Structure 1
Amino acid sequence: MGRPNQATLDERKIVGVNAETVTNVSSTDFPGQYYHEDHSWNLDQFRRFFHVDFHKNDPYDAVFSMVGLDASVANAFRRILLAEIPTLALENIYITQNSSIIQDEVLSQRLGLIPLTTSNSAAIRNLKFLKRRQRETDQGTFSKKELEEETDMARNDSYMQPSDHNTVVMELDVECEYLPGGQALANRGERDPSKLYKNSSLYAKDLVFRPTGQQAELFAGDAAIRPTNPDILVAKLRPGQKITLTAHAVKGIGADHAKFSPVATASYRLLPYIDIRQPILGADAKKFARCFPKGVISLVNDEATGEQKAVVSDPMKDTVSRECLRHDEFKDKVKLGRVRDHFIFSVESSGQFESAELVLDSIALLKRKCETFKRCLDEVYREG
């Protein structure tokens, strides 16, 4: 059994995007799909073809390509990013006073959805879970060593109680009142609340971090835990209204609640494929370029005819709108598609961890899952 030439393999990697249909959508790179062809998985071959290319690597917004993966593995990274990387979020809200028009439960939910951040992200990683979940254990969120440590701690009743090892405390105490001279302005018809009242709007920045125990050193100074976006509007107040509360932030995962998800968006798309099979010249070249987003198609001088010719410049900017297939003059000159094993990831962090860190965390967590699965298989084999 052998393998076909590279041209044939490249052709199979293209998902066809036609005027009204999408073809060649099923993966064929597995044994038995083609007679007399060896498609068994090979580690050396995977190492040779797999690579990661970063296109943008800002602290909280990364765009990169993973080339040479199967869709199932790429989607595993996406799902882990969304739902299984532990983060810190407000969980328990203890309201002392709330005389605003917002109900306690609505106010609590709004506070819980405020993303938190700190410059000492390593300290957040080292925080313990307030309560160990069996489902997380089954999914391999914890390593074997961490499981042993947490099992020992679970025997101690204090493990289930809030402490500086598993809980972060934040307080909020805001009261709305008239500014000096605000009453007179109101009598003259002034309607701008910011000119009339103090604390007319309650923002995320009004949450104050209260460190306990070792947190005073871990989150000192600029490392203090704070809202990622300080200007998130939580409530509007008027004179006489007051909100006083204490909030406890704990670690959790996005599978339990979206507030624990470390990313605002984590998505991927396949690399667009544009194959110009016949020259497109002159006025047709300009019309062809207008069928795509700016920067996808460039116009160059054709040496043979002296006219401008359309060439593919940057397929990553394409949205695969199929606009060019609506024109009869282009139908037989271009083939559209997507590259099956080229995934363009976009990871936007909510601010607690940098995007590149989250990608590495997702890889490490998937590795743990594989180790857990292998350990279970070994146990089944020994028992059998």
Structure 2
Amino acid sequence: MPATKVIVNVPGEQPYDVRIGNGVLGAFGAALKTTPGLENVSRYLVLSDSNVAPLYLKACKEALAAADLKSCDISVPAGEDSKSIAVAEEIWEAMAQLGLGRDAAVIALGGGVVGDLAGFVGSTFMRGVPIVQAPTTLLSMVDSSVGGKTGVNLRAGKNLVGTFTQPRYVCADTSTLATLDEREWACGCGEIAKSAVIDSDDFFFWLVEHANDLAKRETSVVEEAIARCVVFKAGVVAADKTESRGVRECLNYGHTLGHAIEKLSGYGTFSHGAAVAEGMRFAARLGAALVGTPIELVETQDDLLDTLGLPALAWHAAPDTMLDAMKRDKKTRGGQVRFVVPNDVGVREIVNVADDVILEHLEAWALSKEGR
């Protein structure tokens, strides 16, 4: 099937294309040659990791060379540990040693970790060089490669240091998804489910209808799911580029508990999507208590996540420990934890929740994990 193009138009920024389709990496170099904002790039740095580089780095560099574009490459160890200031510093030093200047651009070839890290490095090296995203995981295609969030983790929490810098181009070659294992596939499905719940009836009930096909990786369903997520996220980002107007914060549905789970269990113990899915289950139940979220939505969401390979996690931590981790999240305001909760499909609000209320729900959550 032909490639899909979604245009992301953020006020005050150069619009950029997201190309979605099987084999679009082969035309990568030719696309970059005609991309606004990249006309004066003399050399591309392809940043990848130890999992992705052996699979797709050669094809990426060949596509650049076919368009007479010069490139060099750096690979970092795969995994969340690479999203750190220490690794970023190593890349900055390497870029300087390679003689890269303000006429360079950085290509993120990989999943969400590489995309966030490359975006952060590129947006800060020489006070900012252009960034191109070439996502190779379902999670990065449906979420992190679009919207301009970059970041690295601190010991205190996830994504606490970063920038808002839009990419100049996004190349989502769905053929790269063939190498994903079941854990990584389900991880991306978690972000698709998040988008569907907070977007609209149309997206949500389409996903409910096609969940089995998505779990089975049916090509046309996968590409439509990616496109739907990109269109939804592009609209949200256009309305709130830097998460300063309260609109973009809706994308954090499931992330308040999810980030705490990732931090306390140890980054990488659970995939990001699995942690977010657990956070969605928790937030929907919190919404039922606070804003009247229909129990039918809570149950349908549970069934959807189960079908997508994201069952409820068996893991839990002490409620006070969980609350402390949530308070260190960047979404906290004035010491109060904020949750995105669904009033219904496509209708959501952000609520400040008192500590005692959170603890009450965390205690119920922990008890459910103990089988009581």
TM-score bucket (shorter structure) = under 0.3
Whichever structure has more strand as a proportion of its residues is 1
The TM-score normalised by the length of structure 1 is 0.19
Quick one: higher RCO (CA 8 Å, sep 6+), 1 or 2? Answer: 1
The TM-score normalised by the length of structure 2 is 0.20
